[in-house]
Amino acid sequence: MKTILFYWLKTPGDIDRLEQAVASLAPIPGILDIEWGRPAGYDDHIMDQSFDLCVTITFETEDGLSAMLKDPVHDEASDIFKE
């Protein structure tokens, strides 16, 4: 199972903090893989370039997603995501 998240930063320059928060989720049980990236940065009328960071998280099962949402590490990371 995968979830794909897009983030738009309220404060420019906080991208490194957001990437660190995403990376902190990796040890949570049930997560198989986390990938993230910034927009490609080239002008293309088809591809959305408005987001600051895209995150894809792959879980073993749907239970892995539920477990992540209840994990204290996720709670800490979520505080950064909300800024």
pTM here is 0.84
CA quadruple 2, 9, 38, 24: dihedral sign: negative
Per-residue model confidence as pLDDT tens for the chain (83 residues): 999 999 888 877 788 888 999 999 999 999 999 999 988 877 777 777 888 899 999 999 999 999 999 999 998 888 776 76
pLDDT at 77: 86
pLDDT at 14: 80
pLDDT at 17: 87
Cα 2 to the chain's mean position, in Å?
12
